[in-house]
Amino acid sequence: MAGTFLVILACLFWGMDTLIRYPLVYRGIHPIHIVFYEHCFLVLIFSLSLIQDFKRIGELKISDIFSFLIVGGIGSAIATIAFTESFLYLNPSLVILLQKLQPVVAITLASFILKEQIQKEFVFWAAVSLIGGLLVSSPDIERFYELLRHDFDKVTSDTALNGYGLVGISILGWGATTVFGKRLSLVGFQTKSIMAGRFLVGLMVLIPFMQWNRQLILPHGEDYLRILIMVLISGALAMWLYYQGLKKISAKSTAIAEMFFPFFAVIVNWIFLEKQLTEIQLIGGGILILGSLVIQLKKY
């Protein structure tokens, strides 16, 4: 239970991320620039750990390097960029709904790569949790239904296909990140080493995506402070809690616990942005808690 609690607590801090990230994007700062500065700050924060672990680089196995490339290059950099860019091609409600497939990817990869056993009972309660997560996103389902009724072409156009591809990359990338992060933990890497490697590799992969011009300079000096605060809460603290939890529970159970992120995002919006919760969303949250609790108690 302790591991699940840590992952859920990480989801709470990830949910608070929206209070800073979305206003920055809304004011015209390119999402890639935000992600780039996040990684710069995180690499600086973990620079001491990077220096201490530098001597171990020659001891890394090919499989370890590949895992860091997945966790940092794919999960922390490319998947984040793909998810952000997908909003340019698809209705945001559809993007959020498709993202609910991420636990399915993580559980499937955990079975093939980590050889975790997927019991029938686990599949049932995972499905219950997924239903709860979908109900939490019921307003997005309603908006998607209206889109199908009134503007079906937007769902099937070539532009939409580009969006589906980008969402697919983010789903696969973040699902794989859970599994390969667990693998690094299983072979003996400490949390701070996994995080330091993740952010350094992510930064290196992000560099080619950057446009090195005046737009890279943020319009207001306090924007750097806002990103630093976001980094400390949803980057350093939340990721530390997440990897500490991942050490204690299976990748498949972690994938279920991660579904609390959108639930907490809705709660945060309700408290701080006065976006009211519906009864269906509250019921969905209850179902999600029930499904996750049974999985942890039964230790599937």
pLDDT tens-digit series, residues 129-165 = 989 888 887 777 777 777 777 776 666 676 777 888 8
Cβ-contact 148, 155 below 8 angstroms: yes
Considering only residues 197 and 142, tell me which one the structure prediction assigns the higher pLDDT: 197
**pLDDT tens per residue, range 56-77:** 777 788 999 999 999 999 999 9
Q: Is residue 95 predicted with pLDDT exceeding 80?
A: no
Residue 19 confidence (pLDDT):
83
Residue 186 confidence (pLDDT):
93
| Domain with 149 in it | 2-52+60-298
Average pLDDT of 221-237?
Answer: 91
Residue 239 confidence (pLDDT):
93
Average pLDDT of 163-174?
Answer: 90
Question: What span, in angstroms and rounded, lies between the C-alpha atoms of 206 and 99?
Answer: 22
Residue 155 confidence (pLDDT):
64
Backbone angles phi and psi of 220, in degrees to 5: -130, 140
Q: How many domains does the chain have?
A: 1
Cα–Cα nearest to 10, from 288, 263, 242: 242
Cα–Cα nearest to 39, from 220, 181, 230, 240: 230
